[in-house]
Amino acid sequence: MRRDPTPKLVRYLSFGGYVAMLLMPIQAAGQQPNFQIKADVRVREDSFACKEISDLDRLLQINQRGGFTSGTQLYVYLQRHNCIGLTEGRARVYANKGQYVCIYDPKNKNKAIKPCAWTRREMLLK
């Protein structure tokens, strides 16, 4: 298995039709916009959402420490913790909680995030 030369960025080649993605470092949450409930937002490419906020935080902390040394490790984490990789596109806001936004697919294409999945504000754009 080929190792990525930069441990904080992991190329994730998925199983079963997901797209390739990179984990991104986290920006300062205080500079992020507020999102209204039911507002359409744009999802940044290469971001993540999880059913539980604690799983999302753990995923991002592991990435910052360089803990994912292969795409397989990332894939296993996503599967075990009800997390999904997000691609660039549209989502709708379901709820807000501090620096977190719970989003869902308004076209009901992604059944994995019913009723919604939590992501951080900096992973979304108005």
**Number of structural domains, the chain?**
1
Range of the domain at 82: 35-125
- For residue 23, tell me if it sits in a domain: no
* Domain presence at residue 11: no
Asked if the model's pLDDT at residue 4 lies above 60, the reply is no
Structural domain contains residue 42: yes
Sheet with 47-50, side-by-side order of all strands: 83-86, 47-50, 117-120, 100-104, 89-97, 40-43, 124-125
Is residue 46 scored above 90 in pLDDT?
no
Task: Specify if 70 maps to a domain.
Answer: yes
In a domain, 109, yes or no: yes
- Residue 2 is assigned to a structural domain of this protein: no
Residue 21 lies inside a defined structural domain of this protein:
no
Structural domain contains residue 16: no
pTM exceeds cut of 0.85: no
- Averaged pLDDT score across all residues of the chain: 77
Residue 109 vs residue 98, higher pLDDT: 98
pLDDT greater than 70 at residue 6: no
Exposure pattern of 30-64 as b/e (b: 16+ CB <10 Å)? eebeebeeeeebebbebbbbbbebebbebbbebbe
- Residue 33: what pLDDT? 54
